[in-house]
Amino acid sequence: MKYQVQPGGALQGELRVPGDKSISHRAIMLGALANGVTRVQGFLEGEDALATLHAFRAMGVRIDGPDHGRVTVHGVGLHGLEAPAGPLDLGNAGTGMRLLAGLMAGQSFDTRLTGDASLCSRPMGRVVDPLTRMGARIGTAEGGRPPLVISGGQSLQGLHYAMPMASAQVKSCLLLAGLYARGRTSVTEPAPTRDHTERMLYGFGYKVERDGATAAVEGGGELTACDIDVPADISSAAFFLVAASIAPGSDILLRHVGVNPTRIGVLNILRLMGADITQENPREVGGEPVADLRVRSADLKGIDIPQDQVPLAIDEFPALFIAAACASGRTVLRGAAELRVKESDRIQAMAEGLATLGIANEVLEDGIIIDGGEMGGGAVRTFMDHRIAMAFAVAGLRASAPVTVLDCDHVATSFPGFHAAARGLGLAVEVVA
C-alpha cells in the first residue's frame, strides 16, 4: 500500500487522534497484573497495542474488547499469569517487547518474545544487560537482538541503575521488573523521559518514589484495579501540528491531546521555530494532563534544537524534520542517536526522503542538519516505518509536485485511519494498492 499526495492545500476543522500508544500498552499490562477489573476507554486499536493485548490473553488474562476504544481487563494479580502455549509475538511493538521483558523476567515460567523482521533487527541489550544484573536469565539472537528467551523461576534482586542513555522503555522495563524483585529497584536517567509508567503505577495504588532524576519501587506490593481514560497521542497529533503549521491558511483544533510535561518537546520545539500553537481547556484525566491544541499556519524559522528537548520529542522527529524542511534557514539536531535504532534508522531514512524531495541535508552521527527550501515531488521510501510514512504524507502540503509515499502498511501500528483523518482536514491523500 502507498500514499499518493497531491501538492498544496490547507487544513481546517477538528480532530481527535487515536489514543496514546505508550499509555495503551501500559494500561493492558498493569490492568492484567492488578487485583480486580480495570476499565479502559480511549484505547489505541493499532497493531502495536493490540499485540500487547493478545500477549496477555495468551497468558490467561480475560480481556473484553476492544470496542470503539473500550477495553475491560480482568486482572489476575502480580503472580496470576499462566505460561503461554507458544512464543509471544509482539509484531512491530518495541515498547511491548522491552516492557514485557521486565515483567517476564519475574515469572515462574519460561517465555519467548519475538516479533516481525523490523522488531527482530532492533537491539535489546539496553534492557537485557541490566535485567541480567538483577538475576534474570535471558537468551538473545546475535547482537543482542530478538527473539528473547526468558527463563522463569529466577530470583530477582533490586538494583540501582544509572542509565547511560535516556530511554523511557529501559526505565519502565526495570521498574516493572522491580515489582518482582527483592528490595528496592531504582533508575536514574540522564535526561527526563516520559513518566507514564510511574504515573500509572501510582494510579494502580503502587508506591513509586521519585527524587529528582531517580524513580524507585520496592518489590512485593500489589496493584489495585482502576479506570483509565487514555488521552489522544501527542505523537500522532504531531503530524497535524506540523501540517497546519506549514500549510498557509490552516486553522485546526486537536482535541483531548495528552500534554504530559515529559512528552511536549514537539510543542516546545515548534514554538521555538515560530509555530502558532495554543492550549485550550487544560484538564487532568486519570493523572495525565490533557488539553485541546489550536494550531494556525505560521512562518517557521530554522533553529538549533535544544538538546534538553530531544528526549521529550524522540518519537516526533520525523514530523519535525518536515517542519525544518519548510522553515526558512537551517535547523540543527544533535544528541539524538536513539533515532538510529527505532523502527528504522530514522535519521538516515528521513535524510534520504528529504533529498528525494530536493531538500538539502547533512547526516550527523547523532543528528542531522536540514536547510529549509522549496520542496519538489517524487517517490519516497519509508523503510516500513509508520512515522516516516506519515511525515512524508504531510510534506505534500508544501510540495510543488505529487509525492508518492511507498510501503505505508505499517501506519496502522500507531494510527489506524490516518489517511481518512488527514483527508477530513484537507490533505489531498489517496491510498493506492
How many CB atoms lie under 10 A from the CB of residue 13? 12
Q: For residue 20, give the DSSP letter.
A: P
Give the active site residue among 20, 315, 385, 407.
Answer: 315
Distance CA 407, CA 400 (A): 22
- Cα(21)–Cα(236) distance, integer angstroms: 9
Residue 242: all three cell numbers together: 506540523
What's the rounded Cα separation, in Å, for the pair 384 and 304? 29
**48 is known as an active-site residue:** no
| CA separation, residue 286 to residues 139, 185, 230, 234 (Å) | 37, 25, 8, 17
| Nearest Cα to Cα of residue 217 among 264, 282, 266, 156 | 156
Helix (H) or strand (E) holding 227: strand 227-229
How many whole angstroms separate alpha carbon 212 and alpha carbon 315?
24
Distances (CA, A) of 100 to 27, 75, 93, 97, 324: 13, 16, 11, 5, 36
Catalytic positions are 315
